[in-house]
Amino acid sequence: MVSDEIQLQNLLLSSSQSVTDHARQKIHPITQQILESGSHICPLISGTLVGPLKVNEDLTTLDEDLKILESEFKARTSVHSNLAHRVKKSLEEKDEKLITVNTIEELQKAQVNYTNAYFPLSNVEPPVGVVTPGNCYPHRRTAIVIPYRNRSEHLKVFLRHLHPILLRQDIEYGIYVINQVGNGKFNRAKLLNVGFSEALQHYNKYDCVIFHDVDLLPEDDRNIYTCSSQPKHMSIAVNIFDYKLPYNDIFGGVTALTPAQFQLVNGYSNEYWGWGGEDDDMYKRIRYNCMSILRISEEHARYLMVRHHKDKGNEIMPERFTLLKASLNRQPYDGLKSLNYTVHNRMFGVLYNNISVSIGEPLVKTMTQEEQAVHFGIGIVGIFIIYILLFKRTCS
């Protein structure tokens, strides 16, 4: 898929062609050069990849490293602003003014000198919070959505590790951290649904959404962060599973779906509160819609999971098997179509975007294992008391 900017420029070129051949000659030479040179469109596989990577887990330099990364990001110019700069500079040298037009019709009506006509770059330049390659036009655009609560150290390690990889992959991307507000039960799947809709609301040109646990770090940059014709499972070989797939139908950790694939299955179920089940539910949705799971080579799809304890509020959900059984019945209504949440804060930043949300509570409150034990104990004591009372009555 060619970037919109190139398409717009092609449109300008073809429109001029149809106006007169003479006009075509008058397209700005720099614009023409960019249009005619395929080398300015990012290659499918970037030449700057390095292969296997060592993960830097050192926490002592973390804040400092992120500060440096942030200032580098602030100083870098995107391919869009590079182009704008080049065109503007060249016109300034010739003491000419840049004329911007929004549509072909406008261009024709204005009867401007085609030499200076240029579509405004602001129309195609991505917003703050989207990172774009520095020296070629991206044709792949990926939103990375992270379900999140109270894992700030993991997030920092993730950002320090992932940005350099994504920059090398020459894709346009934005990172969306979806932060669940409050101490209620954690709901990974619902947060991922929120992330999907927030990311596309922010920048509707994404052709891929990657759903990404914050504690998973890719160990090879040949694992390209883009989508495929089928939903893609990316975290195939993870250290905690001895770099082997724990079971064939697994679809958790890191997954990539195009907006069309995600919408076809109505996103994730919103009903999985606490740990487990939501990823298997998604697997079922995908299979039910006649799609298959794509996996790249396990040599490239290696991940390191940062060691961690189970989080408070994300206890195992015992009811997940019952929910899974009825998964396909719920699919048409439970998901993106029934999604509701309240946004507390949206922050679009240089290194990542943070969206803090309230996502509510489970309809039927599920008990933690401790609560179940307490209830069981109360039950036994109750039965015992009733027995004593009955026994007393029969004796008196």
**From edge to edge, which strands make up the β-sheet containing 232-233?**
294-295, 232-233, 254-257, 208-212, 141-148, 172-180, 353-358, 342-348
Q: Give yes or no for residue 151 binding ligand UDP (CB under 6 A).
A: yes
| Shortest Å, Cβ 161 to Mn ion | 15
Is 186 a residue that touches ligand UDP (CB under 6 A)?
yes
Please report how close the Cβ of residue 301 comes to ligand UDP at its closest, in angstroms: 16
By CB under 6 A, tell whether 214 contacts ligand UDP: yes
**Binding partner of 28, given ligand UDP, Mn ion, none, CB within 5-8 angstroms per partner class:** none
How far apart CA 180 and CA 357 sit, in angstroms, is: 5
Q: Tokens 């209830």, residue? A: 375
Q: Which does residue 186 bind out of ligand UDP, Mn ion, none, counting CB within 5 to 8 angstroms by kind? A: ligand UDP
Question: Which helix (H) or strand (E) segment is 159 a member of?
Answer: helix 152-168
* Lookup: tokens for 53: 């990577």
Residue nearer to ligand UDP on the CB measure, 115 or 239: 239
Among 90, 150, 338, 356, binds ligand UDP (CB under 6 A): 150
* Upper half-sphere CA count for residue 37 (Cβ side, 13 Å): 11
Q: Whose CB is nearest to Mn ion?
A: 215
Smallest distance, Mn ion to C-beta of residue 213, A: 6
Q: Confirm or reject binding of residue 147 to ligand UDP (CB under 6 A).
A: yes
CA distance 74 to 49: 23
In 41-115, beta strands by DSSP E: 99-100
Neighbours of 234 (CB within 10 A): 22
Which positions from 113 through 142 interact with ligand UDP, judged by CB under 6 A? none
Binding partner selected for residue 203 from ligand UDP, Mn ion, none, CB under the kind-specific 5 to 8 Å limit: none
Smallest distance from ligand UDP to CB 138, Å: 26
Of these, 270, 314, 327, 353, which contacts ligand UDP (CB under 6 A)? 314
DSSP-based three-state secondary structure for 122? helix
Smallest distance from the beta carbon of 215 to ligand UDP, in angstroms? 4
Residue 146 tokens read as 């992270």
Q: Is residue 233 part of the contact set for ligand UDP (CB under 6 A)?
A: no
Which ranges of 183-338 does DSSP label H, i.e. alpha helix? 188-202, 259-264, 278-288, 320-325, 327-330
Which 3 state secondary structure label does DSSP give 118?
Answer: strand
62-75 and 152-168 are packed helices; what angle lies between their axes, rounded to 10 degrees? 40
The CB-of-179 to ligand UDP minimum distance in angstroms stands at 8
Total residues at interface with ligand UDP (CB under 6 A) = 14
Site for ligand UDP contains 185 (CB under 6 A): no
The C-alpha atoms of residue 198 and residue 189 are separated, in whole angstroms, by 14
Nearest one of 362, 385, 16 to 189, comparing CA atoms? 362
| Closer residue to ligand UDP (CB): 314 or 354 | 314
Residues 185 to 244: which contact Mn ion by CB under 5 A?
Answer: 215
Residue 188 engages ligand UDP in binding (rule: CB under 6 A): yes
CB of 37 to Mn ion, least distance (A): 45
Binder of ligand UDP out of 106, 311, 361, 371 (CB under 6 A): 311
Q: Which is nearer to ligand UDP, 192 or 227 (CB)?
A: 192
Contact 180, 148 (CB under 8 A): yes
Q: Which candidate, 65, 148, 81, 137, places its Cα nearest to that of 347?
A: 148
Q: Where do contacts with Mn ion occur on this chain (CB under 5 A)?
A: 215
Q: Where do contacts with ligand UDP occur on this chain (CB under 6 A)?
A: 146-151, 186, 188, 213-215, 311, 313-314
